[in-house]
Amino acid sequence: MNQSDLNFDFKHIWHPYSSMINPLPCYPIISAKGIHLKLNNGKKIIDGMSSWWSVIHGYNNARLNKSLKDQIKKMSHVMFGGITHPSAILLCRKLIEITPKKLECIFLCDSGSVAIEVAMKMSLQYWQALGEKRCTFLTIRNGYHGDTFFAMSVSDPANSIHSLYSTLLPTHLFANAPKCVFGETWNEKDIYSFDILIKENKSDIAAVIMEPIVQGVGGMKFYHPKYLEKVRYLCNHYKIPLIIDEIATGFGRTGKLFAYEYANIIPDILCIGKALTGGMMSLSATITTKNIAHTISNGKANCFMHGPTFMGNPLACAVATENISILQEKKWKKQIFNIESILKLKLLPLQQHPKVLNIRVLGAIGVVECLYKINIKRIQFFFIKHGVWIRPFNKLIYLIPPYIIDQYSLKKLADVISEALDNDNFFIY
Ligand SMILES: *Cc1c(COP(=O)(O)O)cnc(C)c1O
C-alpha cells in the first residue's frame, strides 16, 4: 500500500461509522499473525481488540487456515435452498452439543444483525401461528443488537447511532438498565421497571430481547446475573419467549462459554456470531426450541420466511466447526482466567486515577471508563506509536484481546493505557 492507495481509500471507501468528508485516519495493516497486526511500514503492533470480539485464537491460526483450505478444495459455496452439505451438518451437530438440550433448531445466517432480525421474525411468526397479534418487543436500556432496522429498534434509543432514525423505527418497550453490578450485592428494586412493563404489556409482547451480563456497545457494562434470572422467571410466568444476544459474549469471552450461564438460565432463542468462526469469516446463527420452530412451521405460512443467499456457506461452516473444536479442548478456560487475573492486577489500581470514573474486569474484558470523552484520533496515534492496537469509543478505553495473548503483551496493553491517561491532550473537557 502506497500513499496513492491510502488517498484512494480516503476518497472512495466507507469505514464503520465514518464520514466521507472528514474521516478519522485509517491505519494500513498488511498482514496479521498470532496477536500481532503488521503495519504497512513493517511495524508490528499488539492487538487488544480481537477485531471486535471475533479473532479469539489469534490471526493466521494454522488449524483454522487448514480447515478453510481443505474445504475450498471440496466446495466453497453451494446454495442452501433444497441442498445440504457435510460442512453445515457438522457445524450444527457441534452447536447442538455445546448449547442446552432444549435448543435444537438452528438457522444459519450471515452476520450478527441478521441473526437478530431472524430471532425477531421467529418471535413474530410464532405468535402469528398461535393466532395472536403481537408486535412489541421488550428490552432494557443501554442495549445494542446491530445496525439493521429491526435490530436498531431494540437498541438503546438514546444511542447516537440509532437516534437519527427514531421516527422510522417501530417503538418497543425499554425497561431501565440494570443498576446492580456484576459481583456486587443484588437489590430487588433493580427489576421493578422491567417487572412493571412486562406485566402491563403481557398480551402485546412478542419476545424479550437482551444481551446477557455484558452490555457491549451500549457502554461496556456488566450487570448482576440475578437480573437475568428474574427476567427468565418473568418470561416463564407470562409465557413470553426470551431472546438472548450472545453475539459479543459467546464462546468464552466472559469466562463462561456463554454469558447466560452466569444466571443459570436457558434462552428460548439464542443468537451467536462474532467469534463463531474465530474471526475467519462472517457467520452467525439463531438457535431455538423445537416448540417455537414447530409452532412457526404449523402456522399459516407453513414455513419460516427467511433465507439469505449465503446461508450455511460451506467455508464459514467448516472454519466455525474447527473453531469450536479448538474451544472444546478447553484451553480457553485457563486462558481467560489468566487474562482476567492480569487485567485485574494492571487495571484495577487505575481506579484511583483522576481521569477515571470506573474500572471493571470480567473474563477477558477490561474496561477503563473515563470521566471525559476521548480524542480518538490523538490517543490512537499514541497507541500505535507505542505498539498497541486499542480502539476506544466515547469515554471508554477497553481491552478484549485474543485468548492466546501472553502475559508480557497483555501487561504492555495495560501499561500503554495507563500512560495515555496521564496525557490531557487525549481527552475532551
Ligand atoms: C456486533 C453485535 C451485533 C451485530 O453483529 P454484526 O455482525 O455486526 O451485524 C449484535 N449484537 C451484539 C451484542 C453485538 O455485539
- Catalytic residue status for 144: yes
Looking at residue 160, its pLDDT comes to 59
Say if domain 65-328 classifies as CATH 3.40.640.10: yes
Kindly report, residue by residue over 291-315, the tens digit of the pLDDT.
999 999 999 888 999 999 999 999 9
Residue 41 pLDDT > 80 = yes
Looking at residue 159, its pLDDT comes to 74
- Is the whole model's pTM more than 0.95, yes or no? yes
Q: Is 144 in the pocket of ligand 1 (CB under 6 A)?
A: yes
Where are the chain's structural domains?
3-60+330-428, 65-328
- Catalytic residue status for 406: no
Question: Which residue among 226, 230, 256, 274 is the active-site one?
Answer: 274
Mutate to test the pocket of ligand 1, among 140, 220, 274 (most ligand atoms within 8 A of CB): 274
Give yes or no on whether 3-60+330-428 and 65-328 have one common fold. Answer: no
Looking at residue 318, its pLDDT comes to 98
Looking at residue 163, its pLDDT comes to 76
- Of 289, 245, 276, the closest CA to residue 122 belongs to 289
Which residue's alpha carbon is at the smallest distance from atom 5 of ligand 1?
112
- Catalytic residue status for 331: no
Kindly report, residue by residue over 386-404, the tens digit of the pLDDT.
999 999 999 999 999 999 9
Distance from C-alpha of 237 to C-alpha of 115, rounded to nearest angstrom: 26
C-alpha cell at 309: 443467499
- Catalytic residue status for 17: yes
Kindly report, residue by residue over 206-230, the tens digit of the pLDDT.
999 999 999 999 999 999 999 999 9
- Domain boundaries 3-60+330-428, corresponding CATH code: 3.90.1150.10
Q: Is 117 in the pocket of ligand 1 (CB under 6 A)?
A: no
Question: Which residue among 144, 227, 260, 398 is the active-site one?
Answer: 144
Q: Which of 53-67, 145-159, 196-210, 363-377 has the lowest mean pLDDT?
A: 145-159
Distance from C-alpha of 160 to C-alpha of 314, rounded to nearest angstrom: 37
Looking at residue 161, its pLDDT comes to 67
| Chain centre to alpha carbon of residue 128 | 29
Question: Which residue among 47, 156, 245, 268 is the active-site one?
Answer: 245
Distance from C-alpha of 56 to C-alpha of 397, rounded to nearest angstrom: 19
What's the chain's Rg over C-alpha atoms? 22
Report the percent of the chain where pLDDT is more than 90.
94
Residue 5 pLDDT > 70 = yes
Which atom of ligand 1 is found nearest the CA of 274? Answer: 7
CA of 284 to the centre of ligand 1 (A): 10
The overall average pLDDT reported for the chain is 97
